[in-house]
Chain A
Amino acid sequence: MAKTKQYCVAENWGKGFIEHSESSKIKFAGYPGNVWQVPANDKGANLWIHKVLGTVKTRDEAQAIVDAEVTAAQTAWDALSDEEKADSSRPADITLEE
């Protein structure tokens, strides 16, 4: 089955990184570790990856980056006091789509 998503790593520099005109046309999803999911086989998405100088990753490579970030965040949350834990939720595991 043809993949419907593709992944890249790109640092969000702020204003202009994703424009209204891009998010209206492309479904973006940002994940920990500067991992970005955009549609596969999509000209607009490919142009955006080129614009942001994104490094294309396979789904498994992207998953490994996200897992490392989530594990670190979960470890930090587990070390909080009960009072501190009440002020935030434990970072949830993330499974990237194929």
Chain B
Amino acid sequence: MATYKEINGTAVQNIAGDPPAPIEGQVWYDSSSGSFKAYLESAAGAWATGGNLNRGKKEGRGTGTQTAALLAGGEPGPEVHTESYNGTSWTSVNDMNQARLTGGMAGTNTLAIIAGGRGPSPTANAETWNGSNWTEVNNLNLARNALEGAGTQTAALVFGGTQPAPNTQETETELWNGSNWTEVNDLNTARAHGGGAGATNTAALFFGGIVNGPNPSSNNELWNGTNWSTSTPLNVARTFVAGTGTSTAALALGGPPSGSTDNMESWNGSSWTTISSTNAGNNGGGQAAGSNTAGLFFGGQSRTTATEEFTSPAIFVQTITTS
């Protein structure tokens, strides 16, 4: 039988531990653990557990990145509770002034804005986060909950939502200039409980949600700074979707009706692709942050404290075993 050296032209390195900068496909023998290892890539990406939330939540709102995220409000409640993630663990920080769930949120974990939501009735209240405290700012023009947000603390966009009567969805879109909210052109399809993405208030994406009463939607709309246009729909119609990313690179995470953990999709600017399932099953009503290559999904169904980190492509050290 041919040896490894005869096949590859080099022998397997003998290293105590792991090499400092392995390259994809590299194989070595770890004399410390007495095992062969490889540095492999999973193009489809992979999920790993992150630090647990301090309080189990669903229907809060998240923003930021995989290593610097913010979670505000949610159930049980509505809550004023806010947590900040540093890539390893969540820390409870100062509360919002207005208890709420399902507000529209945008920004980072040090500069953010949240507007609307239910607390306990649909509210027009808006607050900004400066990394330490929440401050009330001017209200939305239309009080509503289950809306989504995009942009930054000083240039945000909120869209969709629902009014007090159950199953009455809105097309309303409002633009934040750092001081005031202005009504701008409406969505084509009234929806609530969808997922939103967008790093600016001139380029955003709104996907999934509830439409025409209680029906799950696969609808996807793109905002160009002036108008919403219909774009490629999600592969799976669903509600209570968590969204994150930009208008050209986003994640749509979780959501009934399937009740499974398989409703994970990635957007590349023109189409949706199903990605790996989460491990912990924190499905509908979770919150998201980050990008479509380094995402974060936290809380959700059953008010779980679970947090999962998505990395694509996933590159990792794998111990080689026989099975």
Contact = CB atoms under 8 A, between A and B. Distances in A.
B42 interface: yes
A3 interface: no
A88 B314 contact: no
B49 A16 contact: yes
Nearest to B280: A30
Would you call the interface of chain A mostly helix, strand, loop, or mixed?
loop
B321 A87 contact: no
Given A23-B47, A87-B146, A44 B311 contact: no
A73 B167 CA distance: 22
A21 B193 CA distance: 33
B141 interface: no
B50 A88 contact: no
Contacts of B257: 89
Interface stretch (B2-10, B91-99, B175-183, B301-309): B301-309
B166 A18 contact: no
A28 B262 CA distance: 12
B102 A18 contact: no
B162 interface: yes
24 contacts: A14-B49, A14-B307, A15-B88, A15-B89, A18-B279, A19-B316, A20-B48, A21-B318, A23-B279, A24-B46, A25-B318, A28-B280, A30-B281, A30-B306, A43-B322, A73-B302, A86-B166, A87-B118, A88-B59, A89-B239, A89-B284, A89-B285, A91-B301, A91-B302
Given A83-B118, A94-B259, 8 more contacts: A12-B305, A19-B48, A23-B46, A23-B279, A24-B46, A25-B318, A29-B279, A88-B58
